[in-house]
Structure 1
Amino acid sequence: MSRIEWTENDHATTGTATGADRHAEASVQHARWHSESGAAPPRRVAVVDDRTKAAIAYRLACEGTALLWSGDFHGARQLLAALARRIDRKAPAPRKAPAPGSPPAPGATVADSFHLHRRARGHRARVLGMLLVRLDDDYALTLRRAPDVRAACHEAYGPPDGPMVVSLRELLGVIGAHEWRSKGVPVPALDGDRIHPHYGVFSPVRGEYVDLVARAPLPDAAVRDAPRPRTAFDIGTGTGVLAAVLARRGVDRVVATDINPRALACARGNVERLGLAGRVEVVDTGLFPPGRAALAVCNPPWLPARPTSAVEQGVYDQGGAMLHGFLDGLADHLEPAGEGWLILSDLAEHLELRSREQLLAAFDAAGLRVVDRLDIAPRHPRATDATDPLHAARAAEVTSLWRLTPG
């Protein structure tokens, strides 16, 4: 278990000492350290509060000193926003990715722009992650005007295990996830019923891929007298939204798989809430469950890059491991006349992280042929944000459902 240590009443590094501070006795404190991104506990920690100037906080954070907040909760949020503004002001102007098909600038490629963009976002996340808060034994946040975060933290982290220190930025994400989980996300393909995402599980706020599964023609089952697939696999189910859509479309039995404990709990909760527990089975396994199905659906992370946090695992798939695992195992897990549905954005192609030729070659290597492809354009706001350094690639993005069969 990683731990973090700091000294209370030591204001020398932050320039906030008062007469009372100078007479207070310094004491060494410690607590459990938690980071969803896997960051190591900081070696240097300074206790800061509302008297700490943003310029000093920014300098300390950039030098690798973490800032443990002890003041007003809203003051902590204001300092976090001030740090973000300073990072954005000092960052070099982002190099915009050239439009697809246009020649890149000398010495630059679209992939270079993507990696520079991720590097800048990573630096931003590291600096902002230096502002920390302490949670008590029961996850209580004992700061002035602090909200009650105990339920949100219990959902995200499980039962408490003593005092814990986390970054404020992460805690705000936990609070936001709790709100999403409480309210749910309406899904038109489920007749407006809601999916309730858990912290660390990719939310279906981008509904294009769900719409594709809702309107793709179901394949013939393995026997003539069955008008629909008897069994379907939903590989990497996440929230369980695609499994629910398939069950609502009339699939007799859906086996939904995942290896993320948060996703498994999330999918099971959604399936039960939608009244589909008798038709959807959520299984803890990597990729395919035992047996064969008339339909296997997979919506893998779309970009072949290394995720840096639990949330990013829904977007980034290092080396395309899940994509290739699904393709390579598909033929051995389909019934005769069965189909595999691969839902994949072509954003990686526009970012020059994977070519269409490489994708088609992966189909061939797995012994698969394309029966059909359904396409849909993105509807999310970033697709029309001209200030985004990756705007050209996002604007050209298309999400496809590839209907694949062996042979």
Structure 2
Amino acid sequence: MLPQPTPDATTTTVTWNEDGTPRTAFWRSENGAPPPTGIVVITDDIAADKALRIARRGSSLLWRGDFQNARQLMRALDRRLTKRASRSPQSTDAGEVFLANRNARAQRAAVLGRILIPLEADYAIRLRRAPDAREACAHAYGRPAAQTTDESTDLIGETLVSLPELLGVISAYEWHRTGIEVAALGARIHPAHGVFAPTRDEYLDLVADTPWPQGIDHPVVWDIGTGTGVLAAVLARRGAREVVATDINPRAVQCARDNVDRLGLAGRVTVVQADLWPYVYDEADDGEAGDTPRADMVVCNPPWIPGRPTSALEQGIYDPDSDVLHRFLSGLADNLSPRGEGWLILSDLADHLGLRTRDDLLNRIDAAGLTVVGTSETTPRHPRAADSADPLHSARSKERTILWRLGRG
């Protein structure tokens, strides 16, 4: 199912002069980037150094040349920005290195995001050697806002998007179309644009292999922050009697429903839009009443690094002040059946970066009235874990993904 157009995504307009003529277009940014200012029209003959100087002054570069040359220009600017950042003194403190690299990446993204590509009303790219991105854009943005069956109704006009965002939209659509093979499922999961994809799959094996809570063979399970629905599907395939999956992101809810339907699990998995918990209880409810919904298992794989996300995808990685983690722990005991368990799947990378300690987590668990029933852990298999050139290699090489089994105290 395609998303509906975001109401305010194409209502901001930008203006510039081109060949002596005033021009106006809509501005679109899924990440909430501000509208471009000081737009300079450029073509294939611009030198990378000149383009970088313009972009670093804060002006945006509207590309009117060959599409593939625009990609080459972006790569050339990226190399220059990366080289410049590498000259900065590097601390030996892992946390400081992390913050410095994150700031450098943000600055680099801001400059590269000033390369603009025009989309026609139907999302076509009228540039030489441009890909057909119409279906990809429709998947990410929804059908063009003014597209109707009434032939008298015109489509919206030209829209400007940043080249990095457009390339991300195209890449996301390919992932959505072909899917990602998940060994723990023996099937493919199809992520949607703006929904965190299960490319780090080691945690799925933990969930697939960890024994059910003692004495409960076919648990009622809640999957908190389901994303693509991959964990809900793994749990249903394992034999959970019922799975309720929640997510606050409407794109994720639709994505999870589509995946559940595709896997033939719609009869056992329900996906609802909610901020963490699928039910809200009365303050007087003690959680023991037989007719009150409680879960035998609550599974949560929250963002694992304290920090502010800069895009929808980063919301699966960065959690400001560990808010999601803390709220999950604080509410877990009230949402578990008496013999139930909460399964918290969490990378300890933040520990090795000095952003959180194991004791901090254990203290939060204790304060929430929970006890640690047991743990399982695995070593991440993503490429960065073995990349010695990564500035964070020292921390990444020690990283473990841990499944914490938590019971009511």
Q: TM-score, normalised by structure 2?
A: 0.90
Q: What residue in structure 2 maps to residue 185 of structure 1?
A: 180
Once the 2 structures are TM-superposed, how far is the Cα of residue 28 of structure 1 from its aligned partner?
1.4
Out of 202, 205, 209, the position equivalent to 2:199 is 205
Partner AA of 1:237 in structure 2 = T
Once the 2 structures are TM-superposed, how far is the Cα of residue 400 of structure 1 from its aligned partner?
0.3
CA distance in 2, matches of 1:212, 1:94: 40
SS in structure 2 at match of 1:44: coil
Correspondences of 1:328-367 after superposition (within 5 Å): 328-367=330-369
Partner AA of 2:319 in structure 1 = D
Contact 2:333 2:370 in 1 (8 A): yes
Out of 234, 238, 259, the position equivalent to 2:223 is 234
Correspondences of 1:266-277 after superposition (within 5 Å): 266-277=255-266
CA distance in 1, matches of 2:201, 2:88: 29
CA distance in 2, matches of 1:340, 1:129: 41
Contact 1:220 1:228 in 2 (8 A): no
Contact 1:96 1:113 in 2 (8 A): yes
Q: What residue in structure 2 maps to residue 244 of structure 1?
A: 233
Q: What residue in structure 1 maps to residue 113 of structure 2?
A: 129
Q: Deviations over 1:166-201 (max 9, x none)?
A: 10011001100011111100001002x000011111
Q: Deviations over 1:69-110 (max 9, x none)?
A: 01111111111111111112222436667xxxxxxx4xxx32
Q: What residue in structure 2 maps to residue 174 of structure 1?
A: 169
Once the 2 structures are TM-superposed, how far is the Cα of residue 220 of structure 1 from its aligned partner?
3.8
Contact 1:94 1:389 in 2 (8 A): no
CA distance in 2, matches of 1:156, 1:190: 26
Out of 235, 248, 271, the position equivalent to 1:282 is 271
Q: What residue in structure 2 maps to residue 43 of structure 1?
A: 37
Partner AA of 1:403 in structure 2 = R
SS in structure 2 at match of 1:190: coil
SS in structure 2 at match of 1:396: coil
**5+ long unaligned stretches in structure 2:** 1-10, 146-155, 280-292
CA distance in 1, matches of 2:327, 2:249: 17
Contact 1:219 1:228 in 2 (8 A): no
Partner AA of 2:71 in structure 1 = R
CA distance in 1, matches of 2:172, 2:249: 17
Q: What residue in structure 1 maps to residue 243 of structure 2?
A: 254
Q: What residue in structure 1 maps to residue 254 of structure 2?
A: 265
Out of 385, 399, 402, the position equivalent to 2:401 is 399
Correspondences of 1:285-304 after superposition (within 5 Å): 285-290=274-279, 291-304=293-306
Q: What residue in structure 1 maps to residue 17 of structure 2?
A: 7
Partner AA of 2:12 in structure 1 = S
Partner AA of 2:48 in structure 1 = A
SS in structure 2 at match of 1:65: coil
Deviates more, 1:141-150 or 1:85-94: 85-94
Contact 2:338 2:408 in 1 (8 A): no
Partner AA of 1:307 in structure 2 = P
Q: What residue in structure 2 maps to residue 376 of structure 1?
A: 378
CA distance in 2, matches of 1:189, 1:314: 20
Q: State the Cα RMSD in Å.
A: 1.2
Contact 1:343 1:401 in 2 (8 A): yes
Q: TM-score, normalised by structure 1?
A: 0.90
4+ residue runs over 4 A deviation: 94-97
Q: What residue in structure 1 maps to residue 288 of structure 2?
A: none
CA distance in 2, matches of 1:237, 1:32: 33
SS in structure 2 at match of 1:256: strand
**5+ long unaligned stretches in structure 1:** 10-25, 98-104
Partner AA of 1:3 in structure 2 = T
Q: What residue in structure 2 maps to residue 66 of structure 1?
A: 60
Is the counterpart of residue 155 in structure 1 residue 155 in structure 2? no
CA distance in 2, matches of 1:338, 1:28: 65
Contact 1:96 1:390 in 2 (8 A): no
Q: What residue in structure 2 maps to residue 110 of structure 1?
A: 94
Correspondences of 1:16-95 after superposition (within 5 Å): 26-93=20-87
SS in structure 2 at match of 1:189: coil
Contact 1:95 1:389 in 2 (8 A): no
Contact 1:297 1:342 in 2 (8 A): yes
Change (3 A) 1:300 1:178: same
Once the 2 structures are TM-superposed, how far is the Cα of residue 35 of structure 1 from its aligned partner?
1.6
Percentage of pairs with the same residue = 56
CA distance in 1, matches of 2:249, 2:140: 13
SS in structure 1 at match of 2:376: strand
CA distance in 2, matches of 1:200, 1:361: 33
Once the 2 structures are TM-superposed, how far is the Cα of residue 254 of structure 1 from its aligned partner?
0.4
Contact 1:350 1:396 in 2 (8 A): yes
Deviates more, 1:212-221 or 1:112-121: 212-221
Contact 2:228 2:256 in 1 (8 A): yes
CA distance in 2, matches of 1:269, 1:4: 36
Q: How many residues align?
A: 375
CA distance in 2, matches of 1:278, 1:30: 50
Contact 2:221 2:295 in 1 (8 A): yes
Q: Deviations over 1:207-247 (max 9, x none)?
A: 011111111111146xxxx6221x11000000000000000
Out of 386, 389, 405, the position equivalent to 1:387 is 389
